[in-house]
A and B are shown apart, each in its own frame.
Chain A
Amino acid sequence: DIQMTQSPSSLSASIGERVTMTCRASQSIGTSLNWYQQRPGKAPELLIYGASSLQSGVPSRFSGGGSGTDFSLTITSLHPEDFATYSCQQSFSFPPTFGQGTKLEIK
């Protein structure tokens, strides 16, 4: 199975700040990488697919990048509703696997 490793595991930031978090795959996955946002007590929601494509309805302050083994998720100008846990997931090979998540907290 492909292992997905996210860093950092938690991150503190202020409203209006720009943040970046990363996801590393244990082998090359091309751009078959998705990002999900999970607010406390809620189900995950698809944010970005194919490493950099924004899911319909997701604000443009979210962006994703990378290919191969190293990927990033950037949020420019943090809004209060952005404080959540972000998980990456590879769809390159069976079985699909997730990272352990990065929890974004308010500073």
Chain B
Amino acid sequence: QVQVVQSGAEVKKPGASVMVSCRTTGYDFSDYGIDWIRQAPGQGLEWMGWISGHNGNIKESQRFQGRITMSADTSTSTAYMELRSLTSDDTAIYYCARDRDDAFDVWGQGTVVTVSS
């Protein structure tokens, strides 16, 4: 059974960084990519970036370039997303999802990130 499990909630101060992890089980990690998608309170879904589980290639949304770092550890089938220079606008639920090329077919449970002084 394919599962995607994310790390727990975070509270950060403005200017800080946050790292969210995304541990996958039940499939060959190298056969799929992982996407990062966020949802601000009361808002729609916003795609942030993608990392290949095969070779670590990355695609990023222009909105986050320079502030986001994605990585993957194939030995533990875990993807990571770090977002830097946080502001209150980054308060959101952050999701990772398995990328099937045509759709995001398995999602993590979400990680709540709150940015507050």
The residues of A with any CB-CB pair to B shorter than 8 Å are: 32, 34, 36, 43-46, 49-50, 55, 87, 89, 91, 94-101
Interfacial chain B residues near A98, Cβ < 8 Å = 44-47
User: Interface with A: B11-19, B69-77, B79-87, B103-111, which one?
Assistant: B103-111
**Chain A residues with CB below 8 A from B47, complex form:** 95-98
Q: Which of A46, A49, A55, A94 makes the CB contact (< 8 A) with B59?
A: A94
B31 in the interface, Cβ–Cβ < 8 Å? no
B108 engages A89 (CB within 8 Å): no
**Interface contact B61-A95, CB-CB below 8 Å:** yes
Q: A44-B45, A98-B44, A98-B45 are in contact. Are A91 and B107 (CB under 8 A)?
A: no
Number of chain B interface residues as a range:
20 to 34
| CA distance in complex: A100, B47 (Å) | 12
Give 16 new A-B contacts, CB below 8 A, not counting A49-B105, A95-B59: A32-B102, A34-B104, A36-B104, A43-B110, A44-B107, A46-B105, A49-B103, A87-B44, A87-B45, A89-B104, A91-B102, A94-B59, A95-B62, A98-B44, A98-B47, A100-B44
Q: Mark B33-55, 1 if CB is under 8 A from A, else 0.
A: 00100000001111100000000
Min CB distance B103 to A, Å, is 4
Question: Contact between A43 and B108 (Cβ–Cβ < 8 Å)?
Answer: yes
With an 8 A cutoff between CB atoms, is B29 at the interface? no
Q: How far does the alpha carbon of A87 sit from the alpha carbon of B43 in the complex, in Å?
A: 11
